[in-house]
C-alpha cells in the first residue's frame, strides 16, 4: 500500500521525501511557539525543493556567500550602541551551560566587551557532567547568573501531560528556554538578549535569516487564551489538574504589550557570526572547561550535543517515533552541512544508531513524572503515524528509511 493512502498524523506530508545532500526528510516540523502546541496543531515542515535540496542545506550554502566581516561590523555597531560603562548588565544570554551558550557568553564578554547576565531555566533532570559544565560556565567563564528553579510538582505534572498528550518530553524545558530570558530582561531593564544560532540552521524557512531579530511570536503572548501547556488549556489545568495560576505563570511567555513598551531586542548571534556547532564545542572546551559526555549518547554517535538533561535522549527517541527522525539524523545532517561528514557516512550512521532505545536514564525520568514505563511504551505506539510505520514479524519498522531513499 502506498504511503499516500495511509493516515499521516500531525499534519505531516503523506509522501516522505529526503534531502539529497543531508539525511533529513520533509517530515521534520519547523519550530513553533510551544505554548500553542496542541494535539491538533498543523505545523509547516522542512521544505525540500524540486531539486531535492532542503532549506537547511540551502542556508548552509548561503552562509558561504555571506560577508562575515561585514556582519561582525554590524554586531560591533550594535554592541557599541548598548554597551554600558556603569557596571550594569547590557545584555542577557540564556543557556544551561551547553557548548553554544558558553561560546556566546564568552565571546560577548571577552571579545566584544559586553556585560552579559546569564539566565538559566534548568534542565528537567541535570546529568552529573551537564551540571559540571554549567558550574564551569559561570565559575571558570566568570559570569553572573540567574537560575529559575521551577515548582517541582507543577514541572513534573506538565512534563507528564506533554508526554501523554503530545509525546513531547522536552516541552517544559523549551518553554523555559524561550520564555525566561525576555521576562528577566523586562524585570532587570536589560535591552538586549542574544540567543545562538537561528532556527534556519535546522530547517526553518530561509526567509527568517533576513534579520538578526527573533520573531516575537516565539516568546510573547497577547492573551491567556493562547496558552496551552502539555496540550492542555489553562482553565482545564486549573480545574482538572488542581494547578493554580501562580504555579503556571512561570511557564508563560512574556506579555506582548510589556515587550512593546520596553523596546527589548532579541537577536541571534549566529546572524552576525558564522555558527558551527563543532567549533563552538572546541571553543567551550578550551576557554571554559566544557567536557563532552564520558560515553556515546544513545541514539547517535556523538558525545557533546544536548547532554545536560537526562530527558534529552528520550526527547530524540520520541522525534524518531513521531517523525521517523532520531538523534543521529539531526546530528549527521548538521555535520554534513558543515562538511564534517559525507552524506554516505551520514546515512550509515543513521542506519546504525537512529532509534536506539535510551534506557540509561529512563527509570529516573519515569519516576520524576510518575509514569509507568509500560504506559510510556504504549504512548509511543499510539503516536506512530501509519504513513511512517508498519509492523513486520511483530516489530515496528520504518516504511521509508533514508538508506532506501536513493
Per the structure block, which three cell numbers stand in for 235? Answer: 482553565
CA separation for the pair 338, 57 (Å, rounded) = 9
Q: Tens of pLDDT along 83-115?
A: 999 999 999 999 989 999 999 999 999 999 999
For the segment 16-20, the average pLDDT, to the nearest whole number, is 97
% pLDDT > 90, the chain: 82
Per the structure block, which three cell numbers stand in for 15? Answer: 509522501
Q: Tens of pLDDT along 52-84?
A: 999 999 999 999 999 999 999 999 999 999 999
State the DSSP code for 109.
I
Q: How much is the pLDDT for 222?
A: 83
CA separation for the pair 292, 374 (Å, rounded) = 31
- Within a 10 A sphere around the Cβ of 113, how many other Cβ atoms? 13
Q: Tens of pLDDT along 332-348?
A: 999 999 999 999 999 99
- Per DSSP, the residues of 33-60 read -GGG--TT----B--B-TTS-BHHHHHH
pLDDT above 60 for 2? no
Answer whether 219's CB lies under 8 Å from 253's CB. yes
- Hunting for cell 543513521 — which residue is that? 350
Per the structure block, which three cell numbers stand in for 91? Answer: 545584555
Q: Tens of pLDDT along 244-262?
A: 999 999 999 998 889 888 9
- Per DSSP, the residues of 274-304 read ---HHHHHHHHHHHH-----SSPPTTSS-SS
3-state SS of the chain: helix, strand, coil percent to 5?
50, 10, 40
E strands in 177-313 = 192-195, 220-221, 228-229, 232-233, 254-255, 265-268
Q: How much is the pLDDT for 38?
A: 87
Q: How much is the pLDDT for 3?
A: 44
Answer whether 227's CB lies under 8 Å from 252's CB. yes
- Which residues, at least 6 apart from 294, have a Cβ–Cβ distance to it below 8 Å? 129, 303
Answer whether 354's CB lies under 8 Å from 326's CB. yes
- Hunting for cell 527573533 — which residue is that? 214
Strands 192-195 and 265-268 come out as parallel
Amino acid at each position: 500500500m502506498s504511503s499516500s493512502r495511509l493516515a499521516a498524523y500531525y499534519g505531516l506530508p503523506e509522501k516522505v521525501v529526503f534531502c539529497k545532500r543531508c539525511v533529513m526528510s520533509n517530515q521534520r516540523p519547523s519550530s513553533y511557539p510551544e505554548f500553542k502546541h496542541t494535539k491538533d496543531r498543523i505545523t509547516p515542515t522542512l521544505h525540500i525543493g524540486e531539486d531535492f535540496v532542503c532549506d537547511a542545506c540551502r542556508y548552509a550554502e548561503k552562509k558561504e556567500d555571506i560577508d562575515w566581516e561585514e556582519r561582525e561590523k554590524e554586531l560591533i555597531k550594535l554592541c557599541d550602541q548598548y554597551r554600558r560603562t556603569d557596571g550594569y548588565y547590557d545584555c542577557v544570554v540564556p543557556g544551561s551551560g551547553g557548548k553554544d551558550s558558553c561560546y556566546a557568553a564568552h565571546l560577548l564578554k571577552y571579545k566584544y566587551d559586553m556585560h552579559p547576565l546569564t539566565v538559566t531555566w534548568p534542565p528537567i533532570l541535570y546529568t552529573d557532567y551537564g551540571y559540571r559544565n554549567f558550574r564551569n560556565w559561570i565559575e571558570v567563564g566568570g559570569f553572573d547568573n540567574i537560575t529559575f528553579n521551577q515548582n517541582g510538582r507543577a514541572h513534573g505534572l506538565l512534563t507528564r501531560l506533554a508526554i501523554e498528550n503530545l509525546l513531547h518530553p522536552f516541552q517544559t524545558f523549551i518553554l523555559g528556554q524561550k520564555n525566561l530570558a525576555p521576562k528577566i530582561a523586562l524585570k532587570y531593564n536589560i535591552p538586549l538578549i542574544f540567543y545562538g544560532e537561528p532556527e534556519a540552521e535546522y530547517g526553518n524557512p530561509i526567509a527568517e535569516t533576513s534579520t538578526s531579530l527573533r520573531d516575537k511570536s516565539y516568546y510573547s503572548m497577547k492573551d491567556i487564551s493562547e496558552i496551552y501547556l502539555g496540550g492542555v488549556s489553562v482553565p482545564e489545568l486549573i480545574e482538572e489538574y488542581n494547578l493554580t495560576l501562580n504555579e503556571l505563570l512561570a511557564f508563560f511567555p512574556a506579555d506582548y504589550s510589556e515587550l512593546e513598551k520596553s523596546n527589548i531586542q532579541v537577536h541571534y548571534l549566529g546572524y552576525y557570526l558564522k555558527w558551527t556547532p563543532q567549533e563552538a564545542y572546541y571553543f567551550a572546551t578550551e576557554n571554559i572547561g566544557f567536557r563532552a559526555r564520558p560515553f556515546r549518547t544513545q541514539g547517535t554517535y556523538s558525545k557533546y550535543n544536548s547532554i545536560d538533561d537526562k530527558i534529552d535522549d528520550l526527547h530524540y527517541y520520541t522525534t524518531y517515533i513521531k517523525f521517523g527522525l532520531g538523534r543521529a539524523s539531526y546530528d549527521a545532517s548538521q555535520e554534513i552541512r558543515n562538511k564534517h561528514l559525507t552524506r554516505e557516512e551520514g546515512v550509515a550512521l543513521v542506519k546504525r544508531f537512529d532509534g536506539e532505545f535510551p534506557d540509561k536514564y529512563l527509570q529516573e525520568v519515569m519516576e520524576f513524572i510518575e509514569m509507568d514505563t509500560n504506559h510510556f511504551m504504549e504512548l509511543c505506539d499510539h503516536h506512530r503515524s501509519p504513513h511512517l510505520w508498519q509492523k513486520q514479524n511483530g516489530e515496528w519498522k520504518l516504511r521509508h528509511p533514508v538508506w532506501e531513499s536513493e
